[in-house]
Amino acid sequence: MELYDPINTLKSVGEDLWVVDGPLVRMSFPGISVPFPTRMMVVRLANGDLFLWSPTEPEEELRAEIDALGPVCHLVSPNKLHYVHISAWKRAYPQAVAWASPGVRQRAASRGAEIYFDRDLAEGPEETWRGDLDQLIFRGSRFMEEVVFVHRKTRTLILADFIQNFEPEKVRGLYGWLVRLSGVSDPDGKMPIDARLTFLGRKREARASFERMIAWQPERVIMAHGRPYEREGVAELRRAFRWLGSKGWPALRAGSGRSEKASAK
């Protein structure tokens, strides 16, 4: 798995919105350990406070860059798999509020992680960031709910694990085979097949969350893992979530979104 260089540095993707690509982490599955790239989003709110989504490692040079943007005030876990570095950021910025996603407290405790969350994320946005971000809890999975955000100013949807989109040239050998088998190969990125199976019997609930997400009309989709979709976000979302099915949706084929590599350049 290749990194999204340069790592551990701010990359502007729109007004008051930055990406930080981090180092690889390894996720353990039965009989195998798989490398995953990491990604953090930094949002500067209208009041100047910084909102850090899925924080990566707080390296000294990265912290200096972030400090230059404003005060770190919110440390956000979007789902129960994305929390590992929040405790380190909390130690560096004790005044920041650490926000818990559904199930993350239990997940961290079961793995012996020493982490303290101040507050829980809700179905809708907090007053402090209501003008900058909207949010919802994507429901329906028996394994994991994810808090999905949209940055209003740039019409950017922010997802953690509910779409993964790995470029084949970055993933070779056994890992490349696993990416294709999971159905998360660029340009037809989507939720991995094992995660999709956790929605069996609950797709109606998931479709309700999906339709709320589509109503935001995002132009860009940025995920924690893999190549983002820089344009035609609604079309890409309908393609990526076609496995949910709906009589009211048009038929979509793999790669029907316009942000395939040829059109994204």
pLDDT in tens, 169-198: 888 777 788 899 999 999 999 999 999 999
Q: Which amino acid is at 262?
A: A
Domain range summary for the chain, segments of one domain joined by +: 10-242
What distance lies between CA 169 and its chain's CA centroid? 22
- Show Cβ contacts of residue 8 under 8 Å, excluding neighbours closer than 6 positions: 20, 21, 22, 23, 56, 57, 59, 61, 62
pLDDT in tens, 232-253: 999 999 999 999 986 444 444 4
For 68-188, where are the alpha helices, taking DSSP H only?
86-92, 104-110, 173-182
pLDDT in tens, 201-223: 999 999 999 999 999 999 999 99
Class of domain 10-242: alpha beta
pLDDT in tens, 17-63: 999 999 988 766 556 667 788 999 999 999 999 999 999 999 999 99
pTM confidence score? 0.91
State yes or no: cis peptide before 6, omega within 30 of 0: yes
In the beta sheet, which residues pair with residue 20? Answer: 10, 40
> In the predicted model, is pLDDT for residue 258 greater than 90?
no
Average of per-residue pLDDT values in the chain: 91
